[in-house]
Amino acid sequence: MDNASFQFVGFGLAVALISNFSRSPVWRSAVLLVASLIFIGLVERNPLALLPMAGFLLLGYGCLLLIERGWSRSLAWVLVAVIFVYIWLKKYTFLPEGSFLHYSYFVLGLSYIFFRVLHLLIEAADRTERRHIGIGAYLTYTINFTTLVSGPIQRYDKFAQDQFAVEPIPLGPRVMGSQLERIIRGFFKVNVLAMLFNMVRVDAFAQLSQPLPVSFKLYAAFRLAVVFPLFLYCNFSGYIDIVIALARLMRIRLPENFDRPFAAPSFIDFWNRWHITLSTWLKTYVYNPLLVVLMRRISSPALQPLLGTLALFVAFFLIGLWHGRTSEFIFFGILQGGGVALNKLWQMGLAGTLGTKRYRGLAKNPLYIAFSRGLTFSWFAFTLFWFWSDWGQIDSDYHSIGRLNWSAVWLAVWLSSTVVLALWEWLRAVLLSIRTSEGPILVSRYALVVYASALGLISLVVTVLLNQPAPGIVYKAF
Amino acid sequence: MTSKNGFDPGYEREAKLPRRDWVLLPVLCLATICLLAGSVEFGARRMFKKLDAAGQDCLTLDYASAWVRGIPNCKVWEKIPEGELTEYRFNSSGYRNNFDFGPKSPDTYRIVMIGTSMAAGFRVPEQQTFGALLPAELSRRTGRKVELYNEALPWRVSSSLQRYFNETIATNPDLILWILMPSDIENPSWVHRDGVNPLSQRAGVWHRIRAALATGSFRSSIAAIFIQSRTATLLRILLYASPSQYVKSALHEGDYKTEFLKSEPSPEWQKDLSGFKSNAANIEGQASKAGIPLVAVLLPDRKQAAMISLMGDWPRGFDPYKLDNDLRAIISNHGGTYIDILPDFRAIPNPQLDYFAIDGHLNPKGHAMINRLLSEKLTNGAVAGLTASGQKRIGSETGQ
């Protein structure tokens, strides 16, 4: 149930159907809350295992009540308490081992609940007019089964706007059709494309360990480097496609989490397109406040661009750190923050050297964009080694072909991704330029029906043939 | 708490769907599915042609008395979907050799190979089987004339081999080479575990669909029907090219055919293994009594080879080397020589591609690989008549 399986899609569609029996916000909210509780119950059958999660939710709600009742000056302490309990429940390794609960308990979606709870607390403290969020609304928002497992992280006001509206957003045949197409597309991405990419990755990883000639290993290293970002994208964005579409069928609009990330011409832009709701959350609650504090303390105008870079580094370092509890993820965070910071420094340096006008001209140059896009992809692929493997595996991979060969592999990754992504963008532009009066043919409802039917058939055939459990969603582990 | 959505820019009345689309869109959906499914099946049928005849047509099998023989001088053509057109020609003794067995000339080292279908080279033209390639390779390596009688036949597993062992000894070999497969242990009574006569398994489409519907759940029935299509053949060949995917699929099925890969096999498997142990003792005893050395070797099946190439990255509770270790102990304890080729599969890129993806037998590339591995192992000192002096001779001939 906690992956992109037939069961999950069937469950979501059934909930959407029941939810639409009445337009009343009370009915729809009750259906969503009950469905979310059933969902959790289906994933975790042991009620005792749910107690820590329930405790965290109660702590969050208690803190929210305190702030709503005028204790907003204690926000900092409240935040520290919530963050500490989250870290403790997630068993971050810098806390003493003896302090943890020594039994297996349910933490699925805890990270996403954590972000929602912090958002509610900060917004409650910032609000000038008083607002009360009832326990029902709080739970419906925090444990919404469509966003529980892997996000997206939705703002409460946007959620409430759709969920508690007297007149819910319309749901006609066109919207239903496009959402069904999106569910099929998401299912195909997770169950077929991601499965294929993962297959290539596992095989390549094994070949790097085999006693094979170096030519085999070079090719394996190339595949290993290239394929994981594609796997992760299909796995994560496919699941997000499914949950966004299911929520829309329940008349809730979830925020988009991806916007063609591999089209990004810079690493900063990449993070505007990848896991958008997470990076937006961190920009809102880490980058902006941190920058304001830094600029208040250091007023020198010459240093302000560097302060912005530092704030960027911290925000994106935290993104890396959020993914896991080990030193690999600390390094992953350094590489994310370092990539964004270096990108910013490069932009500032180039603008300073060439002048703003010439720099803007260069940034629009198709060749410059193509190479930057390739570099962005390659850097992300490089950082992901600390995402999916541990130091031991990285060391073994490194020694399997040596430094010089790895340099050649990364150069090949950069050049090939530059060419392939440029061709992809060109092809997409050409196809989208074929239009009728209603818009591009490629996104017309007729084209969508054709390829949804084809993707649906392929997904069904592959799923039936392989007869395996649906692949897990990588981001549910965080 | 509640609000109207009227202010929301995304809140727009949906344009009505034109009436013709209520017909057109479902028709488009159905047409796409039919066209895609039909064209892929048509293409796959062109790509993977199949003949109704099979190598098994040259076998006679008596279900009641556990007896399998090749029909002398039988000739048949076979074409499995993933293989090439293959001729089966049996000699006057009823074995798949392109020559008749005769008396041994004094300067010839004679090997008799026993085993099942993999050793008999089923699905592959006879001249490409390792049984046909091995004599030339051994002769080249040892510098002496080596000939090989291939007395392997499908379903001649350890229990039925004992019945024919007198024939093997009567050919007066210098060495008996016993090619073992995991199925030799799984299937000691040489008939499939479901009790169905293996020669009667070719049946009409309707029969197969009815059998599929009887398999259990709706999902498994659909899968069992779909698996009969040539589209399924195409997809399995593509997907099973990946060792990790193939291993995942093969182990997920969890049937008896994966039992030999488990670190702790079931009591049923242990019982089969002890049955094999007593059969092996009997066969080795007969060979020893006749003064003929016996060498046994385990050929991994496709999933086992794929697992080995994954270098330990296989699911917990499995061990592709377990059976190898068990067989080494069994064969060595009864005086035979055991040749271990499994570790060599670690240095072979994608070894599962050396087997037919669906049929599971070795393909021509696989036979060439086994020929190389066997000839290396047989001439590296493991077998007295094929070693040291032979190796020196090769060395002196090549000036090394």
What string of DSSP letters covers B53-80? --GGGGEEEETTTTEEEEPTT-EEEE--
Least confident segment among A88-97, A406-415, B141-150:
A88-97
What is the distance, to the nearest Å, from the Cα of residue A246 to the centroid of all Cα atoms in its chain? Answer: 17
Of A421, A447, A422, A451, give the one whose Cα is nearest residue A432. Answer: A447
A5 occurs within a structural domain: no
Please check the confidence at residue B215 and state whether its pLDDT lies above 80: no
Distance CA B378, CA B175 (A): 11
The three-class DSSP label of residue B87 is strand
Please determine, for residue A261, whether its predicted confidence score (pLDDT) is greater than 90.
yes
Nearest by CB to A210, from B219, B248, B309: name it. B309
> What does the alpha-carbon distance between residue B227 and residue B192 come to, in Å, rounded to a whole number?
20
- The tokens of B19 are what? 């009436």
Identify the pLDDT of residue B198: 52
Pair A32, A246: CB distance under 8 Å? no
Region B349-375: mean pLDDT is 94
Interface test with B, best of A130, A205, A450, A459 (most B CBs within 10 A): A450
A160 CB within 8 Å of a chain B CB = yes
Those residues whose C-beta lies under 8 Å from the C-beta of residue B168, and which sit 6 or more positions away, are B112, B114, B151, B176
- Nearest Cα to B290, choosing from B148, B175, B149? B175
- Domain check: are A223 and A90 in the same one? no
Task: Identify the weakest region by mean pLDDT among A159-168, A205-214, A223-232, B178-187.
Answer: B178-187
A210 touches chain B (CB under 8 A): yes
Q: Which two tokens stand for residue A116?
A: 């929602």
d(CA A173, CA A154): 26
DSSP A130-141: -----HHHHHHH
Encode pLDDT of B54-78 as tens digits: 778 898 887 666 678 899 999 999 9
Same domain, A353 and A456: no
Tell me the mean pLDDT in the region A250-259: 96
- The label of the residue with tokens 């994954």 reads B310
Query: Looking at residues B269-273, what average pLDDT do you find?
Result: 90
CA pair distance A192, A459, nearest whole angstrom? 6
In this prediction, residues B75-102 reach a mean pLDDT of: 90
Confidence of residue B214 (pLDDT cuts 50, 70, 90): low
- Which of A160, A177, A465 has its CB closest to that of B1? A160
Nearest residue of chain A to residue B310 (CA atoms): A206
Contact status, residue A85 vs residue A117, Cβ threshold 8 Å: no
Does A468 lie in the same domain as A405?
no
Give percent above pLDDT 70 in chain A: 100
Interface contact A158, partner B, CB < 8 A:
no
Residue A7 domain-assigned (yes or no)? no
What pLDDT is stored for residue B388 in this prediction? 45
Say if residue A183 is in the same domain as residue A293. no
Residues of B in contact with A199 (CB under 8 A): 239, 242, 244-245
Whether residue A344 is contained in a domain is answered as yes
Q: Which residues on A lie below 8 Å from B244 (Cβ)?
A: 199, 202-203, 206
Least confident among A111-115, B64-68, B177-181: B64-68
For A215, the enclosing helix (H) or strand (E) is helix A214-249
Average pLDDT, chain A: 93
Residue ranges making up the domain that contains A86:
21-163
Q: Which residue has the higher pLDDT, B202 or B58?
A: B58
* H or E stretch at B68: strand B67-70
Q: How far from each other are the two terminal CA atoms of chain B, in whole angstroms?
A: 92
Same domain, A351 and A405: yes
Q: How confident is the model at residue B5 (pLDDT cuts 50, 70, 90)?
A: very low
In a domain, A4, yes or no: no
Local confidence band at B13 (pLDDT 50, 70, 90 cut-offs): low
Q: A434 pLDDT band (50/70/90 cuts)?
A: very high
Residue B336, C-beta contacts closer than 8 angstroms, at least 6 positions apart: B178, B280, B284, B287, B293, B294, B295, B296
Question: A131's torsion region: left (phi>0), alpha (psi -120 to 50) or beta?
Answer: beta
Structure confidence by residue, pLDDT tens digits, A14-35: 999 999 999 999 999 999 999 9
- Best A29, A171, A198, A202 member to test B by mutation, with max B CBs in 10 Å, is A202
Is residue A13 assigned to a domain? no
| Cβ contact, residue pair B17, A172, below 8 Å | yes
- What pLDDT score was predicted for residue B8? 39
Say if CB A166 and CB B3 are below 8 A apart. yes
Of B50 and B230, the structure prediction assigns the larger pLDDT to B230
pLDDT of B3:
41
> Contact A245/A182 with Cβ under 8 angstroms?
yes
Alpha-carbon torsion angle A40, A46, A52, A55, nearest 10: 70
The whole-angstrom separation of Cα A279 and Cα A265 is 17
Q: Tell me whether residue A9 is in a domain.
A: no
Residue of B nearest to A174 (CA): B17
- Residue A48 at interface with chain B, using a CB cutoff of 8 Å: no
The rounded distance, in Å, linking the Cα atoms of A288 and B228 is 61
Q: Taking 50 as the threshold, does the pLDDT of residue B274 lie above it?
A: yes
Phi first, then psi: what are they for B113, rounded to 5°? Answer: -100, 130
| C-alpha of A35 from chain center | 23
Query: What is the number of other CB atoms lying within 10 angstroms of the CB of residue B222?
Result: 15
- Confidence (pLDDT) at B210: 64
Query: How many structural domains is chain A composed of?
Result: 3
What pLDDT band is residue B23 in, cutting at 50, 70 and 90?
Answer: very high
Residues in chain A: 478
Residue B299: partners with Cβ closer than 8 Å, 6 or more residues away:
B118, B119, B179, B180, B181, B341, B362, B370
- The CA-based dihedral angle spanning residues B260, B264, B268, B272, taken in that order and rounded to the nearest 10 degrees: 50
Q: Do A210 and B232 touch (CB under 8 A)?
A: no
* pLDDT the model gives residue B398: 39
Nearest of B58, B9, B154, B161 to residue A253 by alpha carbon = B9
Residue B318 β-bridge partners? B262
For residues A101-107, average pLDDT: 90
- What is the arithmetic mean of pLDDT over A187-209? 94
Residue numbers in A near B8 (CB within 8 A): 161, 169
Same domain, A121 and A206: no
Give the pair of three-digit tokens for residue A466: 């392989």
How near does any CA of chain A get to the CA of B228, in Å? 11
User: Residue B211: its pLDDT value, please?
Assistant: 64
DSSP B114-126: E-SHHHHTTTS-G
Residue B342 pLDDT class (50, 70, 90 cuts): very high
Considering the domain architecture, whether residues A267 and A344 belong to the same structural domain is answered as yes
Q: Which of A163, A189, A216 is the last residue of a domain?
A: A163
Task: For A435-476, write each residue's pLDDT tens digit.
Answer: 988 889 999 999 999 999 999 999 999 988 887 777 788 877
Rg, Å, chain B Cα set: 26
**Which residues are CB-neighbours of A351 under 8 A, at least 6 positions away?**
A359
CA dihedral A450, A455, A461, A466 (to 10 degrees): 180
Q: How confident is the model at residue B298 (pLDDT cuts 50, 70, 90)?
A: very high
Backbone angles phi and psi of B147, in degrees to 5: -125, 155
Q: Which residues of B touch A166 (CB under 8 A)?
A: 2-4
Tokens of B375: 């000839």
CA-CA distance, A237 to A249, in Å (whole number)?
Answer: 18
Q: Flag whether A16 is in a domain.
A: no
For residues A212 and A325, state if they share a domain: no
Share of chain B above pLDDT 90, in %: 53
Residue B224 CA to residue B214 CA, distance in Å, equals 10
| A398 at B interface, C-beta within 8 A | no
Question: Which of A128, A163, A198 lies at the terminal end of a domain, its last residue?
Answer: A163
- A152 and A55 inside one domain: yes
Please answer whether residues B80 and B88 qualify as being in contact, where contact means their C-beta atoms are separated by less than 8 angstroms.
no
pLDDT tens for residues A118-161?
999 999 998 777 778 999 999 999 999 999 999 899 999 999 99
Residues A332, A336, A340, CA angle at the centre, nearest 5°?
165
| Contact partners, residue B95, CB within 8 Å, separation at least 6 | B70, B101, B149, B150, B151, B152, B153
Over residues B367-392, mean pLDDT: 82
Higher pLDDT, B52 or A65: A65
Residue A162 touches partner B, C-beta closer than 8 Å: yes
Q: Which two tokens stand for residue A77?
A: 């302490």
> For residue A269, is it within any domain?
yes
Higher pLDDT: B389 or B62? It is B62
- ω into residue A152 within 30 of 0, thus cis? yes
B190 phi and psi angles, rounded to 5 deg? 55, -5
Q: From CA A79, how far away is CA A123, in angstroms rounded? A: 12
User: Which of A457, A462, A467 comes nearest B37 by C-beta?
Assistant: A457
Q: Are residues A90 and A122 in the same domain?
A: yes
Is the separation of the CB atoms in A109 and A239 below 8 Å? no
Torsion angle of C-alpha atoms A433, A436, A442, A445, degrees rounded to 10 = 160
pLDDT value of residue A223: 96
Q: Whole-angstrom Cα distance, residue A40 to residue A142? A: 12
Instruction: Match 């089966």 to its residue by tokens.
Output: B88
Among A163, A186, A204, give the residue marking a domain's end: A163
Q: Minimum mean pLDDT among A20-34, A418-432, B77-91, B374-388: which range?
A: B374-388
A453 neighbourhood in chain B, CB within 8 Å: 28-30, 32-33, 36
Tell me which of A254-258, B3-7, B160-164 is least confident. B3-7
For the four alpha carbons of B272, B273, B274 and B276, in that order, the dihedral sign comes to: positive
In total, the C-beta contacts within 8 angstroms joining chain A to chain B are 134
User: Are residues A122 and A229 part of one domain?
Assistant: no
Rounded CA separation A326/A332 (Å): 10
Q: Domain check: are A244 and A265 in the same one?
A: no
